[in-house]
Chain A
Amino acid sequence: MHGQCGLFFRTYAGEAQLFPSRFQKIALALFFAALCLAPWAMNKYLVSILCLINISVIGAVSLNLLTGSCGQISLGHGAFFGVGAYTAAYLANLGLPFVLALPGAGLVTALTGMVFGLPSLRLKGIYLAIATLAAQLILEYVFLHWDAVTGGSGGMALDAPSIAGFAFDTDLKMFYLTLGVAVLCVLAVSNVMRTRLGRAFVAIRDYHLSAEIVGVDLFAYKLRAFGLSSFLAGVGGALWASYTMYITPEQFGIGLSVSYLAMIIIGGLGSVIGGVFGAVFITILPECLNFLAQHAGAAFTDLSGALLAMKEGVFGLVLVLFLIFEPEGLANRWRLVKAYWKLYPFAH
């Protein structure tokens, strides 16, 4: 009997599978089972971190689709996230059920994103970055001044979401909701990347002229990238609003956009799993620093103070170190680790 060693694809469809090996499927199933059970063994704090990670995953994966896969830099993702949050809050306050408010938020954000994606036809790189920065500033202005809809400077409150009478009013319930939506979003983006649409995005990113020559309508596809990415950002924002139940314009500032960019750079541009890694990393980083500062403080009082003061600096330092030593992000490291174990113990 001769078993197969390694992966042998006999069809293109086989090669394009999301999870080509049985080992991968089993590992993923076990991981999800563990993830779903984990909150039961955790306290509220750790569960809330998981919720924040789930929400960040949606934001990071959606930005990675636009910037990493299609090459359209966006500095306005924080504001798009805000559009989703405000739309969800507004629709929820109108009495619309959460199952409709969530996609509604996505749709409104998709439209907004497409409007601000219009300049992408003529602008590239740094110029597009400035155009999306303008989107960030304009949207922040709208959040602050459209009192009738956004509540202006006073912010906006909404109730915990409920689906068919079941209220997601604890961290544990919110965890399953956010996890469910995050998984759907990640699957959606993974699948988009396997279709003509995804390949067109990559073609545009790699070289716009070649893409056009092989028949990709640049404008239409760029707009689709903006629309799709903003839709997901809007869904993420809607979840954030439902989770915190109180939103103010300050929450969706340029800082949020920058932190999403940091997530995809650290995670790995253009890779779906990279967005996930980046979101996990950036969400956990400040918590780890706080933990260190607190527990180091017991032994070395001075160190604790210094660590606290350095926190924002550490964030920047981590980013720089990643750019120098791991420019392809955590996703690349993950590939290398997998390759190492595949060859183990016969690595050369």
Chain B
Amino acid sequence: MKRMAQLLALAWTLTLAGPALAQETVNIGLLSDLSGPTSAVGVPYSEGVKDAAKYLNENGGIAGKPINLIEVDYAYNAQQALAAYKRFTSQDKIVALQGWGTQDTEALTKFVGKDQIPTLSASYSAHLTDPAKAPYNFFVAADYSTQIRGALKYFKANWKESRPPKVAFVYPDHPYGLVPIPAAKEYAKELGFEIVGDETVALNAMDAMAQMLRLQKLAPDYVWIGGTTPSAAVIMKDAQKLGFKTTFFCNIWGVDESLFKLAGDAANGAYSLQTAVVYGQKVPGMAVIEKMTGGAPKMTHYIRGFASMLVMAEGLKKAAAKGPLTGPAIKDALETLRDYDPMGLTPPISFFPNDHRPNMAVIIYKVEGGKMVETATETLERKPEWLGK
């Protein structure tokens, strides 16, 4: 009985301690996948967010108040994300949320809109950029559709032959893989590409030989890979085994530093579409990151996490300068960002009240000898008809 009383007393103190802390810090929720199916990239991303918060706190925080990141591992499960979100809003009194993947971001879209909690996530589906549908959702990378469009534009501009270039699409039959395909095909047609085929390769595929054989017969000049690194590696290795020569280009989660180990020299010559710099590039933010990490290389996902926190902090600072930190104030502040430069880590970021596309720029890297070499940055026009598609 005595122990029960002690436990109750402890629980009571903890509940009381919550709101008391909330007054002195800027509470931000951080939903991470540290143990679930996307943890391989979720862990470095969350490290980036946390290191950025640490850096910001060392440099004065938000209007003198430190950022208090409250992290919950939701294991890429919508139900757990929902519970964590409710805890953030009721116990931790967060003012903004750093989200993670498609599953949690979309399951929470309605809630963050209703509760007015500005959310920056790493799910770059184009439909989250339309404020009419997702008013409180933001992210700091060009959406998946814009990324492919940028790459297609780059390839078309560098196409030397007189015949139209041929392109094929390989993607998992999964929401994440399917989302940008209609936009990509439409734009490819508009640019004069010949679309020769579609293949699906699952995210956890062990083999893509059959698909590569079929594609080899169609002889595409360019092949889009819309998976994650393990499936991209399988595709590239099987293509190499078949002697299938083509130019692969992969989306943001399909090439990172782990691909070099998974695919070896089969990855050589592939293009990677990114929206942030890679570790070691000479930009002001990298000096900060190198200092914080003691020179230990970090994945590109880490850098995007870092940038995401920097952008959120900029919104928080702007809102704090005007008055109390509330969800609508932060949203309004974010929507006034014009070409905000997160220390060179990503192309400049702008949000508009009717358009949450951060920018229209995709950084194209080429994989050469186990390294990502920056090739070009392709910037598209901010066309209203592309918003949310």
Contact = CB atoms under 8 A, between A and B. Distances in A.
Nearest to B388: A154
B21 to A, nearest CB: 12
A8 B103 CA distance: 54
Contact of B173 (A44, A141, A286, A290): A141
Interface of A: 43-45, 47-49, 52, 141, 144, 152-155, 157, 169, 171, 244-251, 255, 283, 286-287, 290, 293, 295, 308-312
Nearest to A250: B103
Q: Say whether chain A's binding surface is mostly helix, strand, loop, or mixed.
A: helix
8 contacts: A144-B174, A144-B178, A153-B179, A155-B106, A245-B111, A250-B103, A251-B107, A290-B84
B73 A290 contact: yes
A138 B75 CA distance: 25
A49 B78 CA distance: 13
Contacts of A155: 106, 175
B109 A157 contact: yes
B329 to A, nearest CB: 22
B90 A45 contact: yes
B175 to A, nearest CB: 4
Given A154-B179, A157-B110, A295-B14, A308 B83 contact: no
Nearest to B128: A154
B354 interface: no
Interface residues of B, number: 38
B241 interface: no
A255 B178 CA distance: 21
B18 to A, nearest CB: 9
A286 B109 contact: no
A114 B87 CA distance: 39
B80 interface: yes
B324 to A, nearest CB: 21
B72 interface: yes
Contacts of A153: 125, 174-179
B119 to A, nearest CB: 13
B110 A45 contact: no
B141 interface: no
A48 B86 contact: yes
Contacts of B103: 248, 250-251
Interface string B33-54: 0111000000000000000000
Contacts of B87: 45
Contacts of A152: 175, 178
Contacts of B72: 290
A295 B91 CA distance: 14
A157 B133 contact: yes
B77 interface: yes
Interface in B155-179: 173-179
